[in-house]
Amino acid sequence: MNEVVISVKNLTKTYKIYDKPIDRLKEAISPIKRSYSKEFNALNDVSFDVCKGDILGILGKNGSGKSTLLKIITGVLNATAGDIIKKGKISSILELGAGFNMEYTGIENIFLNGTILGYSDVEIKNKVNDIVNFAAIGDFINQPVKTYSSGMFARLAFSVAINVDPDILIVDEALAVGDLDFQLKCMDKFNELRDLGKTILYVSHDINSIKRYCNRCIWLRDGRLESVGGTVTVCDKYLDYLKRKEIEENSNGYVISSDIGEINNIELLNSKYEKIQSINFGEEINIKLNFSIYKEIKNIVIGIAIMSIDNKYICGLNTLLDNFDVEYKIGMNSIFLHYKNVNLLGGSYYFDAAIYERNAQVPIEYRGKMKEFFVNTPYVGEGIFVLEHNWSMGREV
Ligand SMILES: Nc1ncnc2c1ncn2[C@@H]1O[C@H](COP(=O)(O)OP(=O)(O)OP(=O)(O)O)[C@@H](O)[C@H]1O
């Protein structure tokens, strides 16, 4: 069991919200202590642990409470309730240069920040050269920071945060500071800290970068901890949630029906024809579609499509395209569709199913979003699916 370096227990942060600015004053001077505010929980009973060496990704939409959580962890904000236990020096790139004094020179600010972090003068002197070289802002290092451009300011602040040898580093989307050279240096430093086994808390809206760097994730939703666990699982759940939010409610279950036939249900089966609830990446599966035909009709076509939950058309197959004759009888029928390798990337998808007349033009019955399924995928690629592939250097395969 790894050593826990941050333990967050039942953390709640409550703000008072006022409809009008004047209400704040009215409340402050009300002789009968009348309330003019509503309470709002930016964080609501959040608990999780971070272990030494974890790179914890923090996911959540705008306003979900990520910065509030990080500010409480770094100590610039107090919680309303709950506890945090922290072990080690925390350096944060959360509010770049928040601890800087604008009248001081760059060098003086390096000492100021180092002292705030608890380093002695001698320890800071040993780090100054690294910080100055990393920031690479030339002679400006001896000028007051109020004369800096915003880019220079960010470079120095970033350089201090990342070079002070923290035990725990908090990075908030800020790795994209400065020009390409500086970004590459930052990424190298980030990798170096990771390889040294430092603990990193990383907030980003770029889910692929979270998947690339983090081993664990938390997802905050409206101030509550919605999910905590392995990166791929939490990211895929979060992506599903984002996609679902995007699609309109009324796009659920598009149906066309007639009295000629009916689609009864779809079953998801593994290669041994046993029922399954979810699919593992690359798995061989079978789909059993049960349908009924009530009236004689010349030839029918069966179609099954896979749609992503944000309604992208992933793969549509039908018996006409595959030259497969559907030999139906009046009454209940079953047809099987065999997929060899389901190389879909992780997340939720739907099956649409349809019965068409012989030209696959007119639907006898169409059932949209008929069955939802989930694909479990390790982090093997980005996008929607992974084509079978291999790499080679300097020669054709
Ligand atoms: N001082 C404050 N008074 C009232 N509400 C606040 C205050 N500070 C933050 N909030 C609210 O708390 C919620 C959480 O804010 P927070 O900045 O933590 O979100 P976030 O997840 O970091 O968002 P983003 O991704 O946009 O940075 C938001 O609804 C925000 O409006």
Which amino acid is residue 64, in one-letter code?
Answer: S
185 Cβ inside 6 Å of ligand 1: no
Distance, CA of 23 to CA of 29 (rounded, Å): 10
Mutation to probe ligand 1, out of 68, 95, 219 (largest number of atoms < 8 A from CB)? 68
Last residue of a domain, one of 228, 245, 262: 245
**Going by CA atoms, what residue is nearest to atom 17 of ligand 1?**
67
Please say whether the beta carbons of 284 and 312 come within 8 A: no
Distance, CA of 363 to CA of 377 (rounded, Å): 34
Question: Does 200 lie in the same domain as 293?
Answer: no
Distance, CA of 202 to CA of 209 (rounded, Å): 10
CA–centroid distance, 222 to ligand 1, in Å, is 10
- From first to last of its 397 residues, what are the pLDDT tens digits of the chain? 589 999 999 999 999 888 888 888 887 888 877 877 788 999 999 999 999 999 999 999 989 999 899 989 988 889 999 999 999 888 877 666 667 889 999 999 999 888 877 788 898 899 999 999 988 899 999 999 999 988 888 888 888 888 888 889 888 765 556 677 777 777 788 888 888 889 999 998 888 888 888 999 999 999 999 999 999 999 999 998 888 776 655 455 667 777 888 999 999 999 999 999 999 999 999 999 999 999 888 889 999 999 998 888 999 999 999 999 999 999 999 999 999 999 999 999 999 999 998 887 788 899 988 999 999 998 889 889 999 999 989 877 6
The atom of ligand 1 lying closest to the CA of 17 is 4
**Going by CA atoms, what residue is nearest to atom 4 of ligand 1?**
15
Question: Does 290 lie in the same domain as 220?
Answer: no
CA–centroid distance, 63 to ligand 1, in Å, is 5
Q: Quick check: is 340 in a domain?
A: yes
Helix ranges, the chain (H):
21-29, 66-74, 106-116, 121-135, 150-163, 180-195, 207-213, 231-246
At residue 97, the pLDDT reads 65
**Going by CA atoms, what residue is nearest to atom 11 of ligand 1?**
42
Q: Quick check: is 393 in a domain?
A: no
42 Cβ inside 6 Å of ligand 1: yes
Question: Does 281 lie in the same domain as 206?
Answer: no
Query: Which residue reads 């970004």 in tokens?
Result: 183
At residue 94, the pLDDT reads 66
Question: Does 357 lie in the same domain as 323?
Answer: yes
The atom of ligand 1 lying closest to the CA of 172 is 27
Mutation to probe ligand 1, out of 39, 41, 66 (largest number of atoms < 8 A from CB)? 66
Q: Which residues contact 132 (CB under 8 A, 6 or more apart)?
A: 106, 107, 110, 141, 159
**Going by CA atoms, what residue is nearest to atom 19 of ligand 1?**
63
**Residue whose C-alpha is closest to residue 302's, from 349, 348, 370:** 370
For the domain that residue 296 is a member of, what is the CATH number?
A: 2.70.50.60
Q: Quick check: is 11 in a domain?
A: yes
Q: Quick check: is 364 in a domain?
A: yes
Question: Does 268 lie in the same domain as 325?
Answer: yes
CA distances from 208 to 50, 203, 217, 221, 235 (A): 21, 12, 13, 19, 9
Q: Quick check: is 318 in a domain?
A: yes
The end-to-end CA distance of the chain, in Å, is 45
Question: Does 71 lie in the same domain as 200?
Answer: yes
151 Cβ inside 6 Å of ligand 1: no
204 Cβ inside 6 Å of ligand 1: no
At residue 240, the pLDDT reads 87
Q: Count of domains in the chain?
A: 2
At residue 269, the pLDDT reads 97
Question: Does 369 lie in the same domain as 353?
Answer: yes
Tokens of residue 325, six digits: 């004759």
User: 34 pairs with which residues across the strands?
Assistant: none
| Domain encompassing residue 36 | 4-88+167-245
Distance, CA of 163 to CA of 117 (rounded, Å): 12
CA–centroid distance, 41 to ligand 1, in Å, is 10
**Going by CA atoms, what residue is nearest to atom 27 of ligand 1?**
62
Counting beta carbons within 10 angstroms of the beta carbon of residue 326, is it exposed (0 to 12), middle (13 to 18) or buried (19 or more)? middle
Please say whether the beta carbons of 198 and 51 come within 8 A: no
The atom of ligand 1 lying closest to the CA of 13 is 12
The atom of ligand 1 lying closest to the CA of 65 is 18
65 Cβ inside 6 Å of ligand 1: yes
CA–centroid distance, 295 to ligand 1, in Å, is 60
Last residue of a domain, one of 219, 245, 271: 245
Say whether the ipTM exceeds 0.85. Answer: yes
For the domain that residue 26 is a member of, what is the CATH number?
A: 3.40.50.300
Last residue of a domain, one of 215, 245, 275: 245
Digit-coded pLDDT (tens) for 126-154: 999 999 998 889 999 999 999 998 888 88
43 Cβ inside 6 Å of ligand 1: no
Distance, CA of 149 to CA of 179 (rounded, Å): 14
369 Cβ inside 6 Å of ligand 1: no
Q: Quick check: is 195 in a domain?
A: yes
Question: Does 192 lie in the same domain as 77?
Answer: yes
Distance, CA of 347 to CA of 151 (rounded, Å): 39
Question: Does 206 lie in the same domain as 188?
Answer: yes
78 Cβ inside 6 Å of ligand 1: no
> ∠ CA 266-272-275 to the nearest 5 degrees?
35
At residue 221, the pLDDT reads 96
The atom of ligand 1 lying closest to the CA of 70 is 18
Q: Quick check: is 225 in a domain?
A: yes
Question: Does 62 lie in the same domain as 33?
Answer: yes
Q: Quick check: is 152 in a domain?
A: no
At residue 83, the pLDDT reads 95
CA–centroid distance, 40 to ligand 1, in Å, is 10
Question: Does 198 lie in the same domain as 78?
Answer: yes
Question: Does 258 lie in the same domain as 234?
Answer: no
